Amino acid sequence: MHTKVYDKVRFTHEGDYSGNVHIVHDVGLTNPVSSATIPVSALVAFVADVVRQHKMKKLEDASAEELFGLKGV
């Protein structure tokens, strides 16, 4: 099992990202505020939706030059 922590949120998962991920949100107390165990595939799908929305917003706001690669997006 591997553990990564981002902003007081701990993710424990298999090294190959198969199976489930256990997520615990701490606020510095001895007891966690909340926790959940979910399939990694569901987490990946959720993050993909977030990235998709960000990319769509950038494209919608891009100028013609940015769309054609003539200017940095």
Structure confidence at residue 1 (pLDDT): 93
Bigger pLDDT: 70 or 22?
Answer: 22
| pTM of the predicted protein model | 0.73
pLDDT in tens, 5-41: 998 899 999 999 999 999 998 866 666 578 899 999 9
Taking residues 43-57, report their average pLDDT.
Answer: 96
Q: C-alpha 26: how far from its chain's center?
A: 18
Rounded Cα gap, residues 70 and 73, in angstroms: 9
Q: What is the mean pLDDT of residues 41-68?
A: 94
What's the pLDDT score for residue 30?
67
Is residue 58 helix, strand or coil? helix
